[in-house]
Amino acid sequence: MASAATELDETAVTHGYRSVWRWHFYAALWTAPLLIVLTLTGAIYLFDREFEGWWNRDIQTVAVGATPLPLALQEAIVRNAFAGGEISRVRLPRAADEASVWNIRTAQGEVRDVYLDPYRGQVTGTADPSVQPMNIVRDLHGTLLGGEIGSHVVELVACWTLVMMTTGIWLWWPRKWKAKGVFVPRLATSGRRFWRDLHAIPSIFNAVFVILLVLTGLPWSAFWGPQFAKIGEIIPFVAASPNFKAPPKADAGAENGGATDPHAAHKAMAVADPDSAKIPWTIKHIHQPHGSGHGAVGISDIEALLPRLDQARFGGGVRIFYPKYRGGVFMISYVPDKAEGQRTIYVDPGSGRILGNIGWADYSPTAKAVEWGVMTHMGRQYGLPNQIANLIVCLILVASIAAGLTLWWKRRPKGELGDPQLKAGDRMPGGMKALIAVLAILFPLVGATMVPVLAWSLWRQRSRVAGQTG
């Protein structure tokens, strides 16, 4: 009896294995090439600040002076150097020996970053943000250089990576627990077993971290991110901040004038300035308040406000975004390495009144989790150890993908795809069915793309059976 039960058990596992393996194969085969691109660009972007400092060293590094010039004077120097240009934002120096960086649209319609020595008032150089290496790497990582369509493809790859990881964990789960072949690669072997161990064992140790990187990146995705943020309109636990449902009111009796889209200013900034993509997810998805619409005043008014806003507590790297439409506001954004220090302040350019002052204490529990996740994803939250840890995860992921592709290439029949073929009685285990269904519901793009995958798989299976019986 025991022997018969064991035999039935083994048969069920074998049937289930082929079914799960088939899903793992399809998920991995189409995501692998793109996932390598996303992983390598992500690994490079972990060190964007260090690379940018080196790449722009000739125009970014300045000799430390006694006292920086007033922001109003710095602004005037930039405007005089680029007559007819429109300033989008300024990034204050992160360190004493750095230039301030002014993002402008010139009279000819070109977007440029203007580096200004804050002590001597000299323009040290300009750069086109669209061809800066790290901006290209970031666009590759976020959109595959494909704009909105590419952003959706990246989201698909990320979501299908979750399917690949969950099915991979199931396939690795041993029936007999032992060190070699389960936790330690059998390097003395050769052929399929060697490549299987190099693929499966590093992957299993890496799985939790890869899943964490995927989940912490999804809030910024093209489809899932905005849908997730919309949940906050009805569930306070998910809401980005207390300002999520409605914009803070401006001065009594003020004209709102201008944009009706509550996110219009954020969208406009994203078009004009790639650096604006670094504003927090929490701020990206709240309604920006309207100003009085009484006419924009110079940045000198914001300069007068900065001491009251406790700039010293913020540290370096503060960004000040200019109004983009009538009734728009200045946005002062501070995004330090640690998410807990984030602060966003809205200032009415007409009245000088502070319309919003949003910090960590104002974030919802979900917003705090998202912002912590984003900064950890970028390798910032815990400093250099965070960068190194993320780099190791990325390198292991690329190596395990390469081992998996090598395993597939070696085992496939020449001239064929080599996808796992189902046999009579093969059925997906109930638990795995439920898990994939949950992923399809939580991530609709996965659910939508499962339909053609299932149809194609069924067609291939029927064509193979017909060919064998014909």
Percent of the chain with pLDDT over 90: 48
**CA Rg value for the chain:** 27
Q: Is residue 146, in this structure, part of any structural domain at all? A: yes
Last residue of a domain, one of 363, 398, 426: 363
> Are 184 and 63 contained in the same domain?
no
N-terminal to C-terminal alpha carbon distance within the chain: 41
DSSP H or E stretch at residue 138: helix 133-143
Contact 144, 34 (CB under 8 A): yes
Give the domain range for residue 76. Answer: 57-130
> Within 13 Å of residue 135, how many CA atoms lie on the same side as its CB?
14
> Are 44 and 185 contained in the same domain?
yes
For residue 70, give the CATH number of its domain. 3.10.450
Classify 226 as helix, strand or coil.
Answer: helix
* 398 φ, ψ (degrees, to nearest 5): -65, -45
Average confidence (pLDDT) over 291-320: 66
Last residue of a domain, one of 363, 396, 428: 363
Q: Is residue 122, in this structure, part of any structural domain at all? A: yes
Has residue 28 got a pLDDT over 60?
yes
Close Cβ partners of 86 (under 8 Å, ≥ 6 residues apart): 104, 105
Listed range (38-52, 250-264, 338-352) with the worst mean pLDDT = 250-264
Classify 108 as helix, strand or coil.
Answer: coil
Residue 181's pLDDT band (cuts 50, 70, 90) = confident
Q: Is residue 233, in this structure, part of any structural domain at all? A: no
Residue with tokens 């002062």: 332
Report d(CA 159, CA 445) in Å as an integer: 8
> Within 13 Å of residue 160, how many CA atoms lie on the same side as its CB?
25
Average confidence (pLDDT) over 448-455: 78
Report d(CA 350, CA 257) in Å as an integer: 13
* Closest by Cα among 329, 427, 375, 82 to 216: 375
Contact 94, 317 (CB under 8 A): yes
- The pLDDT of residue 159 is 94
Q: Which of 78-87, 260-269, 324-333 has the highest mean pLDDT?
A: 78-87
Report d(CA 36, CA 34) in Å as an integer: 5
- The pLDDT of residue 324 is 82
Two tokens, residue 194? 């060697």
Contact 130, 138 (CB under 8 A): no
Close Cβ partners of 15 (under 8 Å, ≥ 6 residues apart): 423, 425, 426, 427
Listed range (207-211, 333-337, 412-416) with the worst mean pLDDT = 412-416
> Are 194 and 318 contained in the same domain?
no
Contact 347, 315 (CB under 8 A): no
> Are 414 and 292 contained in the same domain?
no
> Are 42 and 65 contained in the same domain?
no
Q: Is residue 369, in this structure, part of any structural domain at all? A: no
> Are 150 and 262 contained in the same domain?
no
- The pLDDT of residue 72 is 86
Report d(CA 30, CA 160) in Å as an integer: 9
- The pLDDT of residue 414 is 85
- Tell which wins on pLDDT, 451 or 270: 451
- The pLDDT of residue 462 is 65
Residue 469's pLDDT band (cuts 50, 70, 90) = low
**What is the identity of the amino acid at 126?**
T
- The pLDDT of residue 261 is 40
- The pLDDT of residue 11 is 44
**What is the identity of the amino acid at 435?**
L
Has residue 170 got a pLDDT over 90?
yes
- Tell which wins on pLDDT, 126 or 424: 126
> Are 41 and 148 contained in the same domain?
yes
Residue 265's pLDDT band (cuts 50, 70, 90) = very low
Residue with tokens 């309109």: 233
Q: Is residue 246, in this structure, part of any structural domain at all? A: yes
pLDDT in tens, 373-393: 999 999 999 999 999 999 999
- The pLDDT of residue 311 is 58
Residue 271's pLDDT band (cuts 50, 70, 90) = very low
> Are 259 and 349 contained in the same domain?
yes
Report d(CA 398, CA 13) in Å as an integer: 29
Contact 107, 131 (CB under 8 A): no
> Are 144 and 195 contained in the same domain?
yes
Report d(CA 75, CA 302) in Å as an integer: 12
The alpha-helical segments, DSSP class H, found in 144-190 are: 147-172
Q: Is residue 228, in this structure, part of any structural domain at all? A: no
Average confidence (pLDDT) over 144-149: 93
Query: What angle do helix axes 365-377 and 191-217 make, rounded to 10 degrees?
Result: 130
- The pLDDT of residue 365 is 85
Q: Is residue 344, in this structure, part of any structural domain at all? A: yes
Average confidence (pLDDT) over 22-45: 94
Report d(CA 215, CA 150) in Å as an integer: 19
> Are 402 and 456 contained in the same domain?
yes
Considering Cα of 361, then 362, then 366, then 367, what sign does the dihedral take? Answer: negative
> Are 67 and 81 contained in the same domain?
yes
- The pLDDT of residue 298 is 54
Report d(CA 449, CA 464) in Å as an integer: 23
Q: From the CB of residue 345, how many other CB atoms can be counted at a distance below 10 Å?
A: 23
Q: Which of 29-33, 53-57, 182-186 has the highest mean pLDDT?
A: 53-57
Residue 262's pLDDT band (cuts 50, 70, 90) = very low
Domain count, the chain: 3
Two tokens, residue 12? 């069920």
Last residue of a domain, one of 130, 163, 185: 130
pTM of the model: 0.85
Q: Is residue 226, in this structure, part of any structural domain at all? A: no
pLDDT in tens, 50-108: 999 999 999 999 999 989 998 889 999 999 999 999 999 999 999 999 999 999 999 99
> Are 109 and 12 contained in the same domain?
no
Two tokens, residue 58? 């000739």
Classify 206 as helix, strand or coil.
Answer: helix
Contact 206, 397 (CB under 8 A): yes
Listed range (35-49, 73-87, 278-292) with the worst mean pLDDT = 278-292
